[in-house]
Copies of this chain bind each other. A is one copy, B any other.
């Protein structure tokens, strides 16, 4: 089997966090929202139902882990979970902490305003907090 290759655009837009049994966990490099992206480590998947049943169950438990970590660290108003993939076909799931005072609220975040990258120190601190919480 070929090694897993992350889509170029996902790689460019995100910061690596860690790997759980199914997914690579990425932090979207956009300081406007605490935003994780989970990528099942298989090549050539584009839809959730391309995963076997067992992997589907693992996926939803990893989405839950992502959600709980964001809730613990940020106490958001709502979590948005989405598998869209109209632009990047590699299957990936967005898990985004939303706040009533965020830029896009109450709309979805996509296509609103411009990404704002984290500073090096912000990214380092956040990666540390998230990996610690996800592995706890």
- Which chain A residues have a beta carbon within 8 Å of chain B's beta carbons? 46-49, 53, 56-57, 59-61, 63-64, 67-68, 77-87, 89, 98, 105-108, 110-111
Q: Which listed residue, B64, B83, B89, touches A48 by the CB 8 Å rule?
A: B64
On chain B, the residues within 8 Å of A49 by CB distance are: 63-64, 67-68
A84 engages B82 (CB within 8 Å): yes
Min CB distance A31 to B, Å, is 20
Known A46-B78, A108-B108; 18 more pairs at CB < 8 Å? A47-B79, A48-B60, A48-B63, A48-B67, A49-B63, A49-B64, A49-B67, A56-B57, A57-B60, A60-B60, A78-B86, A78-B89, A80-B83, A81-B82, A82-B82, A82-B108, A86-B108, A108-B110
Min CB distance A97 to B, Å, is 11
Docked pose: A18 CA to B78 CA in angstroms: 28
Min CB distance A90 to B, Å, is 12
On chain B, the residues within 8 Å of A111 by CB distance are: 107-108
